Amino acid sequence: MRRRRIYEGKAKVLFEGPEPGTLVQYFKDDATAFNAQKKGVITGKGVLNNRISEYLMLKLEEVGVPTHFVRRLNMREQLIREVEIIPIEVVVRNVAAGSLAQRFKLEEGTRLPRSIVEYYLKNDELGDPLVTEEHITAFGWAATQDIDDMLQLALRVNDFLSGLFLGVGLKLVDFKVEFGRLWEDEQMRIVLADEISPDSCRIWDVQTNEKLDKDRFRRDLGNVEQAYQEVARRLGVLPEAGPMDLKGPKAMQ
Ligand SMILES: Nc1ncnc2c1ncn2[C@@H]1O[C@H](COP(=O)(O)OP(=O)(O)OP(=O)(O)O)[C@@H](O)[C@H]1O
Ligand SMILES: [Mg+2]
């Protein structure tokens, strides 16, 4: 089957879906960091992220968080609802790490007094700068109501996922989510889009604080594939057939 390629990003490809208003999201093994200055391949990542994101989005739907996810199609692809992506990355932090630890000279791993939500503009040319609500509304990237909705949803995602991860011995240090606008009979609602995976979350082992996410790639810590596999295994979504399957089918053109 030939499908129209709508968009190729750094980690995923979007194809035209089988019905209007749908897309097929294909998960690649490609990894980038530091605004794509660092590039690499994490073998099997696409297969694992497809499964992990499916699992987490389905769980979130169960607790009333609307998402773009429809169903998984195969090892590397999932059917999603096409949305108008709001060009803001919403970051929720529970523990100091990454840029927050750097900016405020906090020791990585310090529990924050409360969860902190940040907004970053999705703009590669500008290096995804930190922005405030003022910037977001003044420049028209989202309305005040949209920001409120994103904030409420992001906090619910944080509460729910923090508990889910803790149940399998994982600490949700921080994560990034994207939202999109979905129109249904004249009504607009904001839904969770993109992916939730070790590419977009910091996840540490509760006992050892071992990093089980993309920081292993960013910081050349090694055992990157194994870390993603460990997250999938703990969540109970490791593909049955084992490592052979992780290579998965090649991207269709
Ligand atoms: N349901 C959806 N409808 C439309 N676009 C989506 C949906 N979910 C995710 N996207 C967009 O699809 C792309 C996924 O590809 P990928 O994550 O590889 O992009 P990227 O290289 O990170 O680039 P970007 O800076 O655009 O996020 C992103 O641009 C994301 O915003
Ligand atoms: Mg992306």
Best of 6, 7, 26 to mutate for ligand 1, by most ligand atoms within 8 A of CB? 7
- The tens digit of pLDDT for each residue in 93-134 reads 999 999 999 999 999 999 999 999 999 999 999 999 999 999
Both 160 and 121 in one domain: the answer is: yes
Whole-angstrom distance, CA of residue 124 vs CA of residue 135: 17
Higher pLDDT, 48 or 1: 48
Full-model pTM: 0.95
Helix spans in the chain (H): 45-62, 98-103, 133-138, 144-166, 215-218, 224-235
Q: Is the CB of 38 under 6 A from ligand 1?
A: no
Q: What percent of the chain has pLDDT over 90?
A: 93
Both 68 and 115 in one domain: the answer is: no
Both 199 and 90 in one domain: the answer is: yes
The pLDDT, as a whole number, for residue 240 is 75
Would the pLDDT of 137 be above 50?
Answer: yes
Task: Look up tokens 């990585």; give the residue.
Answer: 108
Q: Is the CB of 24 under 6 A from ligand 1?
A: no
What is the tally of structural domains in the chain? 2
Question: Is 193 inside a domain boundary?
Answer: yes
CATH of the domain at 50: 3.30.200.20
Best of 6, 10, 67, 90 to mutate for ligand 1, by most ligand atoms within 8 A of CB? 10
Both 78 and 89 in one domain: the answer is: no
Q: Is the CB of 125 under 6 A from ligand 1?
A: no
The pLDDT, as a whole number, for residue 241 is 63
Both 92 and 128 in one domain: the answer is: yes
Both 146 and 188 in one domain: the answer is: yes
- 3-class SS of residue 216: helix
User: Which ligand is located closest to the Cα atom of residue 85?
Assistant: 1
Question: Is 51 inside a domain boundary?
Answer: yes
Both 39 and 117 in one domain: the answer is: no
Question: What is the CA(110)–ligand 1 centre distance, in A?
Answer: 31
Whole-angstrom distance, CA of residue 43 vs CA of residue 243: 10
Question: What is the CA(177)–ligand 2 centre distance, in A?
Answer: 9
The pLDDT, as a whole number, for residue 253 is 43
Question: Is 219 inside a domain boundary?
Answer: no
Both 10 and 45 in one domain: the answer is: yes
Comparing C-alpha atoms, which of 187, 197, 182, 5 is closest to residue 86?
182
Question: What is the CA(32)–ligand 2 centre distance, in A?
Answer: 10
- The tens digit of pLDDT for each residue in 27-71 reads 999 999 999 999 999 999 999 999 999 999 999 999 999 999 999
Ligand 1 atom closest to Cα of residue 28: 18
Average pLDDT, the chain: 95
Both 200 and 117 in one domain: the answer is: yes
Both 175 and 230 in one domain: the answer is: no
Which domain, by its residues, includes 93? 85-205
Would the pLDDT of 245 be above 60?
Answer: no
Question: What is the CA(9)–ligand 1 centre distance, in A?
Answer: 6
Q: Is the CB of 190 under 6 A from ligand 1?
A: no
Q: What is the DSSP string of 2-64?
A: ---EEEE-SSEEEEE-SSTTEEEEEEPSEEEETTTTEEEE-TTHHHHHHHHHHHHHHHHHHTT
Let me know if 241 is exposed, middle or buried by CB neighbors in 10 A (0-12, 13-18, 19+). exposed
Question: Is 249 inside a domain boundary?
Answer: no
CATH of the domain at 178: 3.30.470.20
Query: How many other C-beta atoms lie within 10 A of the C-beta of residue 20?
Result: 7
Both 89 and 77 in one domain: the answer is: no
Question: Is 210 inside a domain boundary?
Answer: no
Question: Is 251 inside a domain boundary?
Answer: no
Q: How confident is the model at residue 1 (pLDDT cuts 50, 70, 90)?
A: low
Question: Is 199 inside a domain boundary?
Answer: yes
Question: Is 218 inside a domain boundary?
Answer: no
Both 70 and 113 in one domain: the answer is: no
